[in-house]
Structure 1
Amino acid sequence: MIKRIKAKEILDSRGNPTVEVELETDKGVFKASVPSGASRGKYEAVELRDNEEPYQGMGVSKAVKNINDVIASEIKNKDEAEQKQIDELMIKLDGTKNKSKLGANAILSVSMAVCRAGARSKDLPLYQYINQFFKGFVKIPRPCFNILNGGAHANNNLDVQEFMVVPDKGSFSENFQIGKDIYHNLKNILNKEIGKKGIVMGDEGGFAPPINDVRQALDFIMEAAKGCDIKIGLDCAASEIKKGMYHIEFYQGLARDYPIIFFEDPFGEDDWESFKNITKELNVIIVGDDLLTTNIKRIKQAKAKEACNGAIIKINQIGTITETFEAIRLVKSYGWKIIISHRSGETTDSFIADLAVGSEAEFIKSGAPYKKERLAKYNRLLKIENQLNNLTT
């Protein structure tokens, strides 16, 4: 039974305020904190900000107040294992289509804490508890390391937002080691070729060199990954760049010349026709992020229009764990690939690592293998893999 809930402001990895919740039950105290994106799709649930002078309008005291003054009393004495009922209650309390009254950041932080408390109430690790909602098997995802940053995540002229290496070894620990080695190789190459300006970091821990040529960036990565069995994923975040700047031919050329495994958001979030055409034409995974925003309605539209065959899942795009589970189940029913994703403004909360394992996602994005808030997710995956290995020996 939920005994107490208290929210407060903390700072995320960009130094912007975000929400942290403490939820107390008979089994203990459970914390959760929510991330924030720099490039946000227009169909995402609304992140409530103060829009007042402190923190350049980025404060979250209103969201915190909504938890402490509105949500807390409504969910007190509720059963923490009743995730769906609690999430539906918060959605009803908000009363808007996009969670703009209470704030998706307020609702999600509570929803995450409830999920953690629910797992403890059943004496299960979080990933196994989550897996009960999917009735499948747990699986460690392949990591997508964002080692070179552009777009809204960096102060350079690269339009592509994320250049990711995706190692393909048998275990997560091996994949992590490969990603870490490539990251350090890339640092040495950029330092040698460009100098200190080449190893300035972007928001997600990847390097943000002062270059503007996508192919030059890819060539640097291929040199750093020489001898390694890797694929490359690109988050083009096309909703953030000039309309029509890139065409299918551009992506065809990249897929021909580099080991591309997926293109994420290669076109703008409303350019259904281009998404359909590239999904039909290219033999790589076409992933929707801003296109889908972890939203059931958008995912169904994309299926009907044959617009993609992969989905980014971001818990703060939709704002509750229950709705996230529903989105994942729908995507899985279509046979699409799933990438569980962090945001550029992160905390050390590792919830998405357990989500990826428990939902059997194929991939996870948590930035570069560097910086505390990114490593929190990767360290959690290493720990889970070790636990699973011990169960089978």
Structure 2
Amino acid sequence: MEPGGIRELRRPLPELRHQAAEYYRSQEVPQRLEEALNATFYQRPADLYGHLANYFSKFSKPPVICKLIGRKVLDGIGRPTLEVEIFCTVKNNEKSICSIVISSHAEILENASPEAIDADEKERNDSINTALEWVNGSLNEMLRDLQPTDQCKVDELLSEYFANKVEEENERKEIEKEEQEAAISAPACVLASSIATPSGKKKGAKLGKKTSLAEKPILPAESIEPAFCGSIAIGGLSLAVAKTGATINNTPLYLHLALMKHDQNLPKELTMPLPMVTLLSCGKSSAGKLKLMKEVMLIPPTKLTSIERLLDIQKQMMRLLDPACKGSSPQLTDSKKGSARSAVKKALPPVLKRISHLGCLITGCDNLEQPLILMQTACRNLGLELGIDVHLAINCAAHELMDYTKGKYEILTGTFKSPDEMVDMYVDLINKYPSIIALVDPLRKEDGQQWSSICNALGSRCFLIAEDASKSISKLVEDQNINVPKCSGLIIKYTNQTKISDLTELTRLLDGQGHIAIFGSPAGESSDDSLVDMAVGLGARFIKLGGLSRGERVTKYNRLLAIEEELANNGTLRSGENHEFVDFAEEAQTVEELINALPLIEQGPLPSQHSQPLLAQDQNSASSHGSTLHLNEATRVDISTFP
């Protein structure tokens, strides 16, 4: 170094500071820099350099996506699923920001044939492999240099990409269909088709015999729309981008999603969703005659810390259930409490085998009341009372019980009930056990008339929730109609091509029409806990995570407790509200009064094309009154049925 340079370094620090300020002022740096230099004059050199580095970092380029990596991993039950990791360019450095594991769409096949299981595994592997090609290939190029905080832009591009893939697949199927038709038109195939005609008539006759066995014609089940091969890449990337944006903003994911839903205006308080904890499974796949109750769930009071109570109840039920006697009566095991406890201590492995993939106990029952009596017994042994200290919810899964040859539901082995009889059965059950505050899928979605009947009969006393009976999220958002069938709320599962923007729009739609949202985990859950942040940030009323066993489910309960503690410490936790049910019957009566009061009726019947705009205008005018939200929704549904 030149001597002059050494003399420059030996100059007093105030003079150097003044020269630095003059230099940066000449470079059009904001004048606040001089104030920052003055504030750091008496600091140590290391602190000074750190302060300046933090200051100039504000003027750096915002982080952008630079690389996506997709991996095939295993979910909680050992099936393949997708992991997505996002790398961003942050201050000219490539960094791994976050990764997510999305749950696979396929459900567990109960008592399926080996051929069906093999076909399901092949379909799942093909879907994951296709998703990996998308993420590591074309989607990697498409999302590069995008800001992860711009969720709407990313989701828009993902929607366009998926729509193009669907169109390409439809074109491919159309070409294959034309080729097959051309092959069938060959002379050699004409003879084969003529020979096959008599056998087709015989098959038609057999089908006629089967349909004649039906006691009452019922609507056939809607065809299940298969998941598009590779669609899990869309949902996985959308969630990964949302989590990346939250990480870059140094914000928890649930607050990041709450800001998205409320247009960047964060609510002063957030309400925690209450967990529906599955403790018993005694449905179609379990031993015993009972088929109706796929899941018996407990809902704790407003404080989530009472989850520990539910764990005590589960332990108490394990003591009551004799592992050596499948399907034994809870009343019998309760009367022999001592022998049951000793049997549990001697034979723990058989008890552990009772844990299902949902993380709950599996037991066989012979009637509707046995699992409820078991719950009552376990609670009373702990000094708890159903309906006060804890509530019940039942996943009926009625769509799995329909016998289409008889046109009835098989609720017990050899016991069948028509859709109308099912409504009466549920009314009697709620009358006897008022601690039941939620029924999930009590009927098929095709039984629309019976859904209306059960809503009118029980809607003011419990939540009537559609899970399988609802449409897919993409269909719900597209149609803007969630009243198919009429219900209290929907269970939302984040799978396939669902995007974060879809969830945001759907929860807004549910809130606006007075329905509750329940976030649910699929059968093949992963260890990723992002679902809990979704439920909290988007304002779900309940969250359905399964039982209190298996690591992939316990992880989510722990995340739920952590968020509650964080909100409580920040003073942003809203105190829980009492369960507010919807009186559908009262609304229907009020709607009829409104229809009679409409002045336009005096001028003659309204054309259907004019009724909807008027209703929309009426709904918008009343949207500011919370007590009329349900009323306006009922008005829209009922009036649309008039000619």
Shared topology, TM-score over 0.5? yes
Task: Tell me what 2:294 maps to.
Answer: 161
Q: 2:492 aligns with which of 273, 297, 313?
A: 313
Report how far residue 261 of structure 1 moved. 0.9
Report how far residue 150 of structure 1 moved. 4.1
* Partners of 2:366 and 2:478 in 1: CA distance: 32
Deviations, residues 193-241 of structure 1 (Å, cap 9, x unaligned) = 8367666111211111133533212221222222141111111122222
Task: Tell me what 1:94 maps to.
Answer: 162
Which amino acid in the other structure matches residue 144 of structure 2?
A: K
> What pairs up with 1:76-95 in 2 under 5 angstroms?
76-95=144-163
Q: Which runs of 5+ in 2 are unaligned?
A: 1-63, 109-116, 168-224, 327-346, 410-416, 573-643
Task: Tell me what 1:202 maps to.
Answer: 356
Task: Tell me what 1:48 maps to.
Answer: none
Task: Tell me what 2:630 maps to.
Answer: none
Is contact 2:74–2:81 with CA below 8 Å preserved after alignment?
yes
Describe the shift of the 1:223–1:167 C-alpha distance in structure 2 as closer, same or farther (beyond 3 A): same
Point out the more displaced range, 206-215 or 322-331: 206-215
* Partners of 1:353 and 1:125 in 2: CA distance: 12
Task: Tell me what 2:466 maps to.
Answer: 288
* Partners of 2:313 and 2:141 in 1: CA distance: 50
Point out the more displaced range, 191-200 or 212-221: 191-200
Task: Tell me what 1:275 maps to.
Answer: 451
Task: Tell me what 1:71 maps to.
Answer: 139
* Partners of 1:296 and 1:321 in 2: CA distance: 14
* Partners of 2:141 and 2:325 in 1: CA distance: 56
Which amino acid in the other structure matches residue 220 of structure 1?
A: L
Describe the shift of the 1:319–1:186 C-alpha distance in structure 2 as closer, same or farther (beyond 3 A): same
Describe the shift of the 1:38–1:58 C-alpha distance in structure 2 as closer, same or farther (beyond 3 A): closer
Report how far residue 35 of structure 1 moved. 1.5
Is contact 2:107–2:522 with CA below 8 Å preserved after alignment?
no
Is contact 2:281–2:362 with CA below 8 Å preserved after alignment?
yes
* Partners of 2:226 and 2:66 in 1: CA distance: 25
Describe the shift of the 1:235–1:37 C-alpha distance in structure 2 as closer, same or farther (beyond 3 A): farther
Is contact 1:159–1:212 with CA below 8 Å preserved after alignment?
no
Is contact 2:439–2:464 with CA below 8 Å preserved after alignment?
yes
Describe the shift of the 1:306–1:15 C-alpha distance in structure 2 as closer, same or farther (beyond 3 A): closer
Is contact 1:296–1:330 with CA below 8 Å preserved after alignment?
no
Describe the shift of the 1:99–1:110 C-alpha distance in structure 2 as closer, same or farther (beyond 3 A): farther
Describe the shift of the 1:57–1:153 C-alpha distance in structure 2 as closer, same or farther (beyond 3 A): farther
Q: 1:248 aligns with which of 423, 430, 435?
A: 423
Report how far residue 22 of structure 1 moved. 0.7
Is contact 1:318–1:324 with CA below 8 Å preserved after alignment?
no
Which amino acid in the other structure matches residue 278 of structure 1?
A: I
Which amino acid in the other structure matches residue 521 of structure 2?
A: H
Report how far residue 351 of structure 1 moved. 0.8
Which amino acid in the other structure matches residue 541 of structure 2?
A: E
Describe the shift of the 1:162–1:269 C-alpha distance in structure 2 as closer, same or farther (beyond 3 A): same
Specify which structure has the bigger relative contact order, considering alpha-carbon pairs within 8 angstroms and separated by 6 or more residues: 1
Is contact 1:87–1:322 with CA below 8 Å preserved after alignment?
yes
Report how far residue 32 of structure 1 moved. 1.1
SS in 1 for 2:279: strand
Which amino acid in the other structure matches residue 114 of structure 1?
A: V
> What pairs up with 1:314-329 in 2 under 5 angstroms?
314-316=493-495, 319-329=498-508
Is contact 2:162–2:231 with CA below 8 Å preserved after alignment?
no
1:144 paired to 2:282:
no
Deviations, residues 264-302 of structure 1 (Å, cap 9, x unaligned) = 111113222221221111131111112223342588444
* Partners of 2:533 and 2:496 in 1: CA distance: 18
Task: Tell me what 2:438 maps to.
Answer: 262
Report how far residue 117 of structure 1 moved. 0.6
Point out the more displaced range, 51-60 or 131-140: 51-60
Query: What TM-score does the superposition give when structure 1 sets the normalisation length?
Result: 0.88
Deviations, residues 100-138 of structure 1 (Å, cap 9, x unaligned) = 556331111111111101112222111111111232442
Describe the shift of the 1:318–1:338 C-alpha distance in structure 2 as closer, same or farther (beyond 3 A): farther
Is contact 1:13–1:347 with CA below 8 Å preserved after alignment?
yes
RMSD over aligned Cα, in angstroms? 2.7
Is contact 1:148–1:164 with CA below 8 Å preserved after alignment?
yes
* Partners of 2:285 and 2:503 in 1: CA distance: 25
Point out the more displaced range, 289-298 or 225-234: 289-298
Q: 1:188 aligns with which of 295, 298, 319?
A: 319
Deviations, residues 51-87 of structure 1 (Å, cap 9, x unaligned) = 9889454322222222212222111111101112211
Deviations, residues 252-271 of structure 1 (Å, cap 9, x unaligned) = 12211221111111111322
Task: Tell me what 1:173 maps to.
Answer: 305
* Partners of 1:90 and 1:224 in 2: CA distance: 49
Query: What TM-score does the superposition give when structure 2 sets the normalisation length?
Result: 0.55
Is contact 1:138–1:360 with CA below 8 Å preserved after alignment?
yes
1:5 paired to 2:136:
no
1:213 paired to 2:351:
no
* Partners of 2:76 and 2:393 in 1: CA distance: 23
Which amino acid in the other structure matches residue 467 of structure 2?
A: D
* Partners of 2:285 and 2:72 in 1: CA distance: 23
Is contact 2:438–2:462 with CA below 8 Å preserved after alignment?
yes
Is contact 1:94–1:101 with CA below 8 Å preserved after alignment?
no
* Partners of 1:274 and 1:298 in 2: CA distance: 26
Greater C-alpha Rg: 2
Describe the shift of the 1:24–1:322 C-alpha distance in structure 2 as closer, same or farther (beyond 3 A): same
Describe the shift of the 1:273–1:297 C-alpha distance in structure 2 as closer, same or farther (beyond 3 A): farther
> What pairs up with 1:39-78 in 2 under 5 angstroms?
39=107, 55-59=121-125, 60-78=128-146
Is contact 2:490–2:517 with CA below 8 Å preserved after alignment?
yes
Report how far residue 352 of structure 1 moved. 1.1
Alignment length (residue pairs): 380
Is contact 1:291–1:298 with CA below 8 Å preserved after alignment?
no
Describe the shift of the 1:359–1:183 C-alpha distance in structure 2 as closer, same or farther (beyond 3 A): same
SS in 1 for 2:322: helix
1:378 paired to 2:560:
no
Identity of aligned residues (%): 25
Is contact 1:80–1:115 with CA below 8 Å preserved after alignment?
yes
Which amino acid in the other structure matches residue 232 of structure 2?
A: N
